[in-house]
Structure 1
Amino acid sequence: MEEKVSLLENEAIDDLQLKGLHLIQKNAGFRFGVDAVLLADFANVKRKHKVIDICTGTGIVPFLLWGKYEPESVIGLEIQDDMVEMAERSVKLNKLQDKISFVHGDLKDKKLLSELGRYDVLTVNPPYKLNNAGIVNPDDKLAIARHEVLCNLEDVIASAKKLLKDNGRMYMVHRPERLIDIFELMRKYNIEPKRVKLIHPNSKKPPNIVLVEGQRDGGSFLKWEPSLYVYNEDGTYSDEINKIYGREE
C-alpha cells in the first residue's frame, strides 16, 4: 500500500494504527500528542465535507481525519516550510495525493486565505503558550509550535472566519485557562461557541485540555459535554481513551 519515500536525518515513520496510515515525524523535535487525537475525534466531519486544518505541523490531524471520516478533501496549512515538506512526503507514503494536500503559508496572509476558498470544517491545534516570557527564539521550530510566536489566538480565529463557509464549523483544542479568551474572540469574529468538552488527566485532577466547537454565524446555544478522563485511578487508560485510540477489546 505504501510508496517508498526518502527519510531525512532524525526522521522516522510511525504507524498511526488507523487504516494502515503512517506519518513521518522527527525522532527529536515536535511530535504529535493526545491533543491531536482528541481533536480529530471531537470534530464532526462528513464524507461530503471539504476540510482545512490550520497550524497543521506534521500533518497529523489531516491524516487522522481522513482515516476516521474519509471526507472529500483535507488541506493542511502550515507556516514552517520544512514541516510542509515532511507532511507532503507522508501524503506520498500513504498514496493519498488526491485526498490530502498541504500549503506552505501564513494564516495572517489575507490574499492566501482568499485563494484557499471556503470550507465546511476547520480544525486547529494552535500554539498554546503566550509569547510574553521574553525567552522564545523566533527561529526555534519547537517554540513556534508551542508559543504564540508567529500567530496568536486572535489571528487563528480571524483566519477561521475567512476560511469557513456560512454555518461552517470550527473545532479547536486548547488549554482551559484560555477558554474566556476563546469565547470572546469567537464572538468577535461571528463564530458562535456551540460545544465544549473538558479533558482531565484523571478524576482527581483539574482539566488540562479543552475542546471547543464553534459555528460561523450560528445562533447562541452552548452545550457542555461530559468530561473525559484520560487515566483510571489505577493509572491505566480509561475506556473512553481506549475507544478513541481504537484499542477496544
Structure 2
Amino acid sequence: MHLYDDERIDYIIENELRIIQSPTVFSFSLDAVLLARFAWVPITRGKIIDLCTGNGIIPLLLSRRSQVPIDAVEIQDRLFDMGTRSVDLNDLNDQLTLHHGDIRDLPSGLLKESYDAVTCNPPYFQSKRNEQRNLNEHLTIARHEVMCTLEDVIQSCSRLAKQGGKVSLVHRPERLLDIITLMRKYRVEPKRMQLVYPKAGKEANTLLIEGIKDGKPDLKVLPPFIVYQKDNTYSDEMRNVYEEL
C-alpha cells in the first residue's frame, strides 16, 4: 500500500478496520464515529450513501453494521485518493464505492431518490474572510462552507433519499434551527435528535439529527450523550459505541 510522506495507517477497530490518515490533510474526529453509531442503516437490503466522506471513515464504520452497498462522495482529490486506498486496504471494494465529485452536481451513477439511508458529516463553519480560515486548504474545505453550504448538503441528501428514506447528520448545536428549517424546506422531516456533551455539566458541543423523506411530524429527543467522565476517561456510553461498531 503506497503512502505519502505525511500519511500513516491507523486502526479504527482493534486489529480489524484500518484507515489512511494525514495530520496535514485530514484525520477523522469523534463526530464521525458518533454519526456512524447514531444513523439508522439497512442491514441486508437497500443502499447507503455518505456525502462529504473525507477519507471514507463513515462508510468504513457502517460496513461493520450493514451488508448493503455503500456509496460515498468526496470533492477533494487527495482525500478521495486516501479513502480509495483505505477501501483497498480493508478489502471492501465489493461493498464500498467512493466517487470523486461535487455533491451539488452529483457524479453519474448516483441515482436520485434511490437510497434508503443518507449520512453526512459536513463542513460546520459558515464561510468567513480568507484570513479567518485555516491556512491549510484541505482543512479549510473540510471545516468551512467553501465548496458547499448547509443548504447544499441538505438539498443533496433529500435528492438522494428515496421516499421514506432516512437522512442523518452530525453538526453543531448552534445550527439546529437552520438544520430543521432546511430539512423541512427539502421534504426531510426531523424525527430523532441527540445532543452530545463533552462532560456532565458542560454545554453540548455536537448535534446528531435524523429525518425521514416525506415523513410525518414527530420529533423524538434522545437522552443526553456524555463522552468523558470527570477523570477524562471515556464514559460507559462512549465505550459502548466502540464495542457496538
TM-score range, shorter chain: over 0.9
1:50 and 1:71 in contact (8 A); partners too: no
Normalized against structure 2, the TM-score is what? 0.93
Number of residue equivalences: 240
| Distance in 1 (alpha carbons) for counterparts of 2:41 and 2:91 | 21
In percent, how many aligned pairs have the same letter? 46
Superposed, which structure 2 residues align to 1:1-249 within 5 Å? 5-17=1-13, 20-47=16-43, 48-67=45-64, 69-109=65-105, 112=107, 115-117=109-111, 118-135=114-131, 136=133, 140-246=137-243
How far residue 19 of structure 1 moved from its aligned partner, in angstroms, is: 7.2
- C-alpha displacement at 1:85, in angstroms? 1.2
Mapped contact 1:45–1:71 kept (Cα < 8 A): no
Structure 1's consecutive aligned runs of 4 or more residues displaced over 6 angstroms after TM superposition are none
Q: Which amino acid aligns with 1:46?
A: P
The amino acid across from 1:222 in the alignment is: L
| Residue identity matched to 2:110 | L
After TM superposition, give the deviation of residue 236 of structure 1 in Å: 2.0
Distance 1:18 1:232 in 2: 22
Q: d(CA) in 2 for partners of 1:86 and 1:228?
A: 31
What TM-score do you get using the length of structure 1 for normalisation?
A: 0.92
1:240: how far off? Answer: 0.2
The root-mean-square deviation of aligned C-alpha atoms, in Å, is: 1.7
Q: Where does the alignment leave 5 or more consecutive residues of structure 2 unmatched?
A: none
> Deviations for 1:75-95, whole angstroms, at most 9, x for unmatched residues?
110000111111111111111
Q: Once the two structures are superposed, what CA deviation does each residue of 1:194-218 show, in whole Å capped at 9, x if it has no partner?
A: 0010000111111000000011000
Preserved CA contact (<8 Å) 1:77 1:107? yes
Q: What do the CA deviations read for 1:112-150 (whole angstroms, capped 9, x no partner)?
A: 37x401210000000001102442379811100000010
Write the deviation string for residues 40-71 of structure 1: whole angstroms up to 9, x where unpaired.
0001112223100000001000000002x123
Gap regions ≥5 residues in structure 1: none
